[in-house]
Amino acid sequence: MLAILVYIMVFLQLFKSYELCPLEYYVIDENHSYCSQPYPNVVDLPISSSERTAILRIHNHERRLVRGTNIEKMYWNDDLAEIALRYARRCEFDHDKASQRSVPRIPLSTGQNLAMGYDNWTQAIGGWIEEKEHYIHGYPATGIVAHYTQMIWHSAVLVGCAATMCPPSGIFDMKWPFYVCNYVTGQLNSNLYRPYDQGIEDRPLNDCHGKVCLYNGTLDLKTCQCQCSTYATGSQCEHLNCSILPPCYYQSPESCIAVNVPLECPRLCGLCDRYEVLKQVYGKANLAPNTPAIKMLRTTTITTTTSSTKRKPAGRKMKTNSQKQPRKLSLITHPSTVIASNSCNYLSLSIGPYLLHSLMIIIVTLKSF
């Protein structure tokens, strides 16, 4: 009987320290924003269909104005929006990591724009657009431009946004609206001042209906067809064949921070493990990002919870008078940051069986009495 109590206590302690999180998110990052704990008393500000239309219209208007030859039309993505909402519920006016906002079936760089204190979405996005007065294509900026350049990044074809009303807390003595937009693909710091190829004439945006190409594939803007790497196949290069990978000349997963390493060494950078999980969850036939996300297996794994201590919003201070002080925050992302390290992948695949094994021991022990 003592052995039974010991096993039960160990099993319950494990679940006290961990919470369930979908495996397809946990394999990307054990602290993925999809599994975030909401801040107490936060209130969602649902985006209406007209607001969503306005968000896309404003973005695509700015993208068309710059006359870029390789800029694509932007489309809404529900997965990006859901992750943005779960992050906005945390009421932390600071960026999460790019890996923590990555969509499972879109292993590409994911950018983010934040704003607070504005009355509506038009004003919030307008604050980002104001930065273009500091922007000259191909030249160093004279001020902050990262929000604006993310909006006009040539391959930022997918966007998902969300907003919440955060309660007073800490340095904030009034409620404050929090706006979050996530983008695929995110802008790269190496091309911050050249987010597109400059043209000289007005032209419509390239429109491939939000199609993206995975695993080092490239999109032909004339045919809207993906040209895949030697180790990927499918309409969006969504099928990764890790048995025919080219030689990898890097030894440490820390090398994956470089832009080229995840593309040259998918196994080293965790893409092969992530791909196997995606096949289990969605099925091999449903891995293309533009297909409906039908989950074949409702798989969960274990991830650590945050502390139960109430957190103070890590945002900018708002003045207490009636004049609101809107704030904005942007992040320049790196494509390798959407890839979880191998340790996260192996951890996610090992903790679940360990807990099940413990439960089986308890059941077998009970049957012996």
Break the chain into its structural domains and give their ranges.
18-208, 213-284
Torsion (CA) 236, 241, 247, 253 in degrees, nearest 10: 80
Name the pairing type of β-strands 158-166 and 75-76: parallel
Q: What pLDDT, on the 0 to 100 scale, is given for residue 236?
A: 97
Q: Residue 269 has what pLDDT?
A: 84
- Does the predicted TM-score (pTM) go above 0.95? no
Residue position matching structure tokens 């269909």 = 49
Tell me what pLDDT residue 293 has.
65
**Spatial distance between the Cα atoms of 90 and 94, rounded to a whole number of angstroms:** 10
The parts of the chain modelled with pLDDT lower than 70 are 1-19, 190, 257-260, 293-294, 296-369
Q: Which CATH code for domain 18-208?
A: 3.40.33.10
Contact 311, 28 (CB under 8 A): no
> Beta 18-22 vs 300-304: how paired, if at all?
antiparallel
- CA angle 146/226/204 to nearest 5° reads 55
Which residue is listed with tokens 């990002």?
289
The alpha carbon of residue 291 and the mean position of all alpha carbons in its chain are separated, in whole angstroms, by 18
Separation of alpha carbons 75 and 57, rounded Å = 10
CA 25 to chain centre: 10
Write the Ramachandran bin of 209: left for phi over 0, alpha for psi from -120 to 50, otherwise beta. Answer: left
Q: Quote the pLDDT of residue 63.
A: 98
Both tokens of 76, joined, read 């809404």
pLDDT of residue 302: 42
